[in-house]
């Protein structure tokens, strides 16, 4: 067996079994959007993501400044999915020596724009030689705490039968934007959604304060990411296709693929939340217009996307897995 047959998420489980030892100060370890540990009276969050040329972006197509923005934004999305506050970033830049200096300047301008937008300080990193550009960002943050000093965290294992499911923003736009870029179209809101994702950080923080127990960021596709929640929480889920928030731009550009892109396209970097209906209602009131209830958590296992008559739908988009072969 090789890693391609095991797949990204099977490999993560295998590595966690080999190296994921508990520690007294560790609150959340391998398997969530970020790890969390206790440091005195504080709770520190840490996450990391890597963008690789030809895998996560198209060299010569993706603008350098947008690449810098996205490299940090995808990490901010992980902190948002935990209900945390991002603080300090470390950037590792692996690049060919022939990379133009102007390109690297643009890359860091984009990083700095995102850092300023989300209150992050770029505190250091590393630069190494490589055959292809690879950009890795590690982001440290902290958890909000209640009056007693306990951390307020959103977790993937917090869904329970009877909880409602809600998503922020609209879904499928980023995947549609990538499809447009691949066919040579460089402008418009769908392309912008792909190039410069804007994670709803304030929404995640509000959700944690209001007692919503469960969230994940939608990076690999709604159905696949909801599947992670179901597996870790020991539940099933039903998603109503008719209730999914699809933008008019997506419907116009891909009328036959809009639903599939929303369910499995990936890279939306919106939040999927599970919690008691009244908690999500309070969150919706605090963050007006930012949430759409799309389904519910049920007993059982797996994710079903259903039509208006409750019949399961078959979807063409399976979600993103870095290693799984087609």
Does residue 22 sit in helix, strand or coil? Answer: coil
Nearest to 190 by CA among 233, 240, 249: 249
Give the whole-angstrom CA distance, residue 28 versus residue 20.
11
DSSP, residue by residue, 129-174: E-SS-EEEEEEEEE-EE-TTS-EE--BTT---TT-EEEEES-SSHH
Per residue of the chain (326 residues), give pLDDT as tens.
777 766 666 776 777 677 767 788 999 988 889 999 999 999 999 999 999 987 787 787 889 999 999 999 999 999 999 999 999 999 999 999 999 999 999 999 999 999 999 999 999 999 999 999 999 999 999 999 999 999 999 999 999 999 999 999 999 999 999 999 998 888 899 999 999 999 999 999 999 999 999 999 999 999 999 999 999 999 999 999 999 999 999 999 999 999 999 999 999 999 999 999 999 999 999 988 789 999 999 999 999 999 999 999 987 655 544 445 45
Separation of alpha carbons 66 and 69, rounded Å? 5
Strands 121-129 and 302-306: unpaired
d(CA 15, CA 30): 9
pTM higher than 0.85: yes
Residues 6+ apart with CB under 8 A from 83: 143, 144, 152, 153, 154, 204, 205, 207, 208, 209, 212, 215
Q: How far apart are the first and last CA of the chain?
A: 16
Q: What pLDDT shows up at residue 45?
A: 98
In the chain, the domains with their CATH numbers are 3-151 (3.30.1330.10), 154-306 (3.90.650.10)
Please state, in angstroms and rounded to a whole number, the distance separating the CA atoms of residues 151 and 191. 37
**By three-state DSSP, how is residue 200 classified?**
coil
What is the crossing angle of helices 201-209 and 277-286, to 10°? Answer: 130
Which residue, among 252, 263, 256, has the nearest Cα to 172 in the 3D structure? 263
Per the CB < 8 A criterion, the answer to whether 274 and 159 are in contact is: yes
| Cβ-contact 174, 181 below 8 angstroms | no
Contact between 297 and 239 under an 8 Å Cβ cutoff? The reply is no
């Amino acid at each position: 067996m090789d890693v391609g047959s095991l797949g990204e998420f099977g490999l993560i489980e295998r590595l966690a079994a080999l190296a994921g030892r508990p520690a007294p100060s560790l609150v959340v370890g391998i398997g969530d959007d970020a790890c969390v540990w206790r440091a005195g009276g504080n709770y520190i969050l840490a996450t990391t993501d890597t963008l690789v040329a030809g895998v996560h972006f198209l060299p010569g197509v993706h603008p350098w400044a947008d690449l810098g923005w996205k490299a940090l934004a995808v990490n901010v999305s992980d902190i948002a999915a935990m209900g945390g506050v991002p603080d300090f970033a470390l950037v590792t830049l692996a690049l060919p020596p022939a990379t133009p200096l102007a390109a690297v300047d643009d890359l860091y301008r984009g990083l700095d724009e995102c850092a300023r937008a989300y209150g992050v300080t770029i505190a250091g990193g590393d630069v190494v030689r490589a055959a292809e550009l690879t950009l890795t960002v590690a982001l440290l943050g902290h958890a909000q705490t209640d009056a007693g000093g306990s951390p307020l965290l959103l977790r993937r294992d917090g869904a329970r039968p009877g909880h409602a499911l809600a998503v922020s923003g609209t879904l499928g736009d980023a995947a549609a934007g990538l499809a447009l870029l691949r066919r040579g179209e460089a402008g418009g809101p769908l392309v912008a959604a792909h190039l410069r994702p804007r994670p709803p950080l304030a929404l995640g923080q509000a959700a944690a304060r209001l007692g919503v127990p469960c969230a994940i960021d939608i990076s690999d596709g709604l159905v696949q990411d909801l599947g992670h929640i179901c597996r870790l929480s020991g539940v099933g889920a039903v998603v109503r296709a008719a209730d999914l928030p699809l933008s008019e731009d997506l419907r116009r550009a891909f009328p036959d693929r809009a639903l599939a892109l929303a369910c499995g396209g990936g890279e939306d970097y919106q939040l999927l939340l599970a919690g008691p209906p009244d908690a999500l209602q309070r969150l919706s009131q605090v963050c007006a217009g930012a949430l759409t209830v799309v389904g519910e958590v049920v007993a059982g296992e797996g994710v079903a996307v259903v039509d208006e008559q409750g019949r399961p739908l078959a979807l063409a988009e399976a979600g993103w897995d870095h290693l799984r072969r087609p």
